[in-house]
Amino acid sequence: MTTVTPTPLFHPTHLDALEAESVHIFREVAGEFERPTILFSGGKDSIVMLHLALKAFWPAPVPFSLLHVDTGHNFPEVIEYRDRVVAEHGLTLHVAHVQDFIDDGRLVERPDGTRNPLQTVPLLDAIERNRFDAVFGGGRRDEEKARAKERVFSLRDEFGAWDPRRQRPELWSLYNGKHAVGEHVRVFPLSNWTELDVWQYIEREKIELPEIYYAHERDVFARGGMWLTAGEWGGPKEHEPTERRMIRYRTVGDMSCTGAVDSDAVAIADVIAEIAASRLTERGATRADDKLSEAAMEDRKREGYF
């Protein structure tokens, strides 16, 4: 025992408070649902989710499986990272392949080659086949207008769709996870985190990330105001010259629509300084799919997207 101090008040930092809240959410789901899964893309938000889940149930294993929707256009560094983490913690990984759906005709490749919007169908199929009743997503409210109004527990109907009318008021830290058979609840434990919080937490907890998050030299070409990596998915086209640049990725998604930013940030402290100074949101800077229209995210969300 330590010496007794008169009023040992706990002064949590914002990261302590966010961590405690997220852990509370993970444990609520473990207590109330039968078959939860964590959407795991190998992106930093899903990596932080997994880290929180590991801490929440220590020393027991995480009582959830992982689900990855593989567009077929993933960064090899990210897939390698994913498989290593799964093996290290003895986790169960489900993979839904967009390619399978294209091959058997349930999905049709888009003319622009972008596969992000195609993820919804395999995602919902995997949820239905595995009878997942709670699906953890790494979405944050600071990301986008449509996400700002998202609940921590977001009810989805049997088609995976989000109906704003059916969303329940969420008070205090009482989360209502009641749902009918066939419906499921999307759970967002990082709702109240900002991009900066996520990075500061990664630094504090010394969480390893796929190396593409840090500055490195890469052959890229310009499209739609972003640097894209050349790949089998259809780039660069003839009029798009490739050049070698020092870049890094702020988000990790489908290679066809995830852009890199010019950066010299080779270590996490550099990344944090860069983000703090950046005047563009991460989605604005690096996601072509969110530039599609003003309500792009809202539309995809209603259809059952992440």
Partner 1 sequence: MTSTTEELTATSLLRFATAGSVDDGKSTLVGRLLHDSKSVLVDQLEAVKQASRRRGQESPDLALLTDGLRAEREQGITIDVAYRYFATPRRRFILADTPGHVQYTRNMVTGASTAELAVVLVDARNGVLEQTRRHAAVAALLRVPHVVLAVNKMDLVGYDEAVFAQITGEFTAYAARLGVNDIVTVPISALAGDNVVEPSTHMDWYTGPTLLEHLETVRVDTDPADAPARFPVQYVIRPQRGEFHDYRGYAGQLASGALRTGDTVTVLPSGRTGTISGIDVLGRSADIASVGQSVTLRLAEDLDISRGDLLAAGPPPRLTQDVEATVCHLHDRPLKAGDKVLLKHTTRTVRAVVKEIACRIDITAPIEEGGLDQHTDVQELRVNDIGKVLLRTAEPLALDDYRDNQRTGSFLLIDPADGTTRTAGMVGTTGLVTPDWPHHV
Give ∠ CA 136-129-300 in degrees, rounded to 5.
50
Nearest CB to partner 1, comparing residues 30 and 93: 30
Helices 195-205/44-57 angle, 10° precision: 50
Window 17-36: residues binding partner 1 (CB under 8 A): 17, 19-21, 23-24, 27-28, 30-31
Binding mask 67-106 for partner 1 (x = CB under 8 A): ----------------------------------------
Q: Does residue 181 interact with partner 1 by CB under 8 A?
A: no
Contacts of 98 (CB under 8 A, 6+ apart): 69, 70, 71, 72, 107, 115, 118, 119, 122
CA distance 59 to 292: 44
Nearest CB to partner 1, comparing residues 28 and 70: 28
The 3-state DSSP class for residue 295 equals coil
Q: Does residue 267 interact with partner 1 by CB under 8 A?
A: no
Helices 14-32/195-205 angle, 10° precision: 90
Nearest CB to partner 1, comparing residues 46 and 286: 286
Q: Does residue 2 interact with partner 1 by CB under 8 A?
A: yes
**Of the residues 65, 99, 130, 176, which one makes contact with partner 1 according to CB under 8 A:** 176
Q: Kind and range of the H or E element at 296?
A: helix 296-303
CA distance 239 to 35: 49
Residues that bind partner 1 (CB under 8 A): 1-2, 7-17, 19-21, 23-24, 27-28, 30-31, 55-61, 141-142, 145-146, 148-149, 155, 164-165, 167-174, 176, 178-180, 191-192, 194, 196, 200, 272-273, 276-281, 284-285, 294-295, 298, 302
